[in-house]
Structure 1
Amino acid sequence: MDLPHHVYQAAPKQRGRAGPPTVLFEDTSSGAPAMRTPGYNMAGPANEMQGDPAGNNLFTDPMANAAMMYGSSLANTGKDMVNKEFSRFVSVNKLKYFFAVDTRYVLKKLMILLFPYTHQDWEVRYHRDTPLTPRQDVNAPDLYIPTMAFITYILLTGMALGIQQRFSPEVLGLCASTALVWIIIEVLVMLLSLYLLTVHSDLSTFDLIAYSGYKYVGMIFTVLCGLLFGSDGYYVALAWSSCALMFFIVRSLKMKILPSISHDTMGTGPSNKPQFRLYITVATAVFQPIIIYWLTSHLVR
């Protein structure tokens, strides 16, 4: 039966005014939260947090502020104690001196290490009995180049082992520890020799570490030539870097150890002391190629 025309027109208006259908059961199969009723206050938790003074009490509570101040003072005290204990063994000011370098100094120093035969003036300059910083005097020893060269050598070692399919963290750690131990042994032997022979020189422990660490520049050059040109390139680079390093060590230590020879000759010390000082200088220089070969020969095949 067909409905009257006026009834057919009124039905849509009633549907448009009607509210949403009542949900008898909530669909919780998808894990979504249940549908909230229109009268639910969505900002209720936020308003509760704003109205609850407990959150603000965390910053205004005297006990919390006292705890924070005590923790800060305790951290500062611990930092001061660490710095004090560190200063007992290592002088921070001296350590800063050996890292006072710039780009110009680094480039000139690398050229001297690889081509020392063209360098003429090897004398270390002083200002009011204080040696100039490395950035002011290219002949001053530094620890920046040895440190960066050591890190570069370790990275180059990992690359060389990876090319030869022999890389592993254990092997790389062994190479790094071996290189570090060689420096420690070399510096200790040098200090012991100077002490037993009662040699008074301007060399400090940092100076010896610097001169011992300069060998890593030659080691990097040697390994790179070996990787690029094979064993022939390795031995040619080894010969060149060894001769250059020996020449550099002799000329540098000559300004630190040998100047006091005349004082021993004029004093009451034994007459063979000048010869021993010369032997120490030469032995230190000759020992460098042996270490270079020992630490780089297994990286080139």
Structure 2
Amino acid sequence: MSAAGGGSRPGRAPAQRRPPAPPLFEDTSRAAAPAPVSSLAAAYGSSLASQGKALVDRNIERLVPVGRLKYYFAVDSLYVGRKLGRLLFPFLHQDWQVQYQQDRPVAPRLDVNAPDLYIPVMAFITYILVAGLALGTQNRFSPDLLGLQASSALAWLIVEVLAILLGLYLVTVNTDLTTIDLVAFSGYKYVGMIVGLVAGLLFGKTGYFLLLSWCCLSIFVFMIRTLRLKILSEAAAEGVLVRGAKNQLRMYLTMAVAGLQPLFMYWLTFHLVR
């Protein structure tokens, strides 16, 4: 006879719960790697990234001197205004000597006589835009023609710089002028070209020829007063006679470089004004 009240049967062991069965597929993605292995991998990855960055920076610096380019773009609004004044009115200034600090030229924002690339680059871009505007007013605008104008101006700039470098080599001038300096000085003529084109758009050919002639004269004087301190500096330091043959060649080279600027200014703008 069974006991009442839900009692257990005599002679039978109490029931036990079975443990849950393990999953058929265990998720091992959450298992963390051992601490020494993960730290070693992180260190190796950081070292590899640093080596890659150093390699890229070294190759870029070899092709493009980024550190030196920063110097040529170290300008401010005050410098830009004063430099434009020297480019357009060089007759009003007497001091053209570049300032040095610890045998290195100071940044352009601290010395208005220092060469920069900001004004040439911005002037080149503005010249292309004004050229497109001039072509548009004459119903001659097309992307191909504007691209040809930009590539032509850039090609002539490269030819000019290469010609100056060849002249410096043939005359055997030991100067601190660099290729970037020559690009900067050659690029200043775009300021006068912009003034001439804008005058042509507003006042026709008469205004173009008047203001372009002034800008050509200004850039000629600017280049003479700037480059003579660079090209003739060695002769002055050596005490060479002014009428010496070598010094005469240096002076002719300075005059030739300055004389090239008005020719290029007219050649690159006369067909844009009608």
Relative to the length of structure 2, the TM-score reads 0.80
The residue type equivalent to 2:109 in the other structure is: R
| Secondary structure of 1:255 counterpart | helix
Cα distance between partner residues in 2 of 1:72 and 1:171 = 50
The residue type equivalent to 2:257 in the other structure is: T
Measured on the aligned residues, the alpha-carbon RMSD in Å equals 2.6
CA distance 1:74–1:281, change in 2 (3 Å): same
CA distance 1:212–1:61, change in 2 (3 Å): farther
2:267 corresponds to 1:294: yes
Structure 1 stretches of 4+ with a deviation exceeding 3 A read: 59-62, 69-82, 262-267
- Per-residue CA deviations over 1:226-280 (Å, capped at 9, x if unaligned) read 000000001001110000000000000011111222455559xx94110111011
Cα distance between partner residues in 2 of 1:184 and 1:74 = 39
2:220 corresponds to 1:217: no
**Contact 1:249 1:285 (C-alpha < 8 Å) held by counterparts:** yes
The residue type equivalent to 2:119 in the other structure is: I
Cα distance between partner residues in 1 of 2:119 and 2:211 = 20
Cα distance between partner residues in 2 of 1:171 and 1:188 = 26
**Contact 1:225 1:233 (C-alpha < 8 Å) held by counterparts:** yes
Q: Pairwise mapping of residues 218-257 of structure 1 onto structure 2 (< 5 A)? A: 218-257=192-231
CA distance 1:92–1:232, change in 2 (3 Å): same
Counterpart residue number, 1:145: 119
2:135 corresponds to 1:161: yes
Equivalent position to 1:274, from 247, 257, 266 = 247
Query: How far has the Cα of 1:159 moved from its partner?
Result: 1.0
CA distance 1:60–1:274, change in 2 (3 Å): farther
Counterpart residue number, 1:208: 182
Counterpart residue number, 1:186: 160
Cα distance between partner residues in 2 of 1:61 and 1:248 = 70
Equivalent position to 2:59, from 74, 85, 91 = 85
Cα distance between partner residues in 2 of 1:190 and 1:75 = 42
How many residues align? The count is 240
- Per-residue CA deviations over 1:14-64 (Å, capped at 9, x if unaligned) read xxxxxxxxxxxxxxxxxxxxxxxxxxxxxxxxxxxxxxxx9xx7x9998xx
| Secondary structure of 2:108 counterpart | coil
Identity of matched residues, %: 55
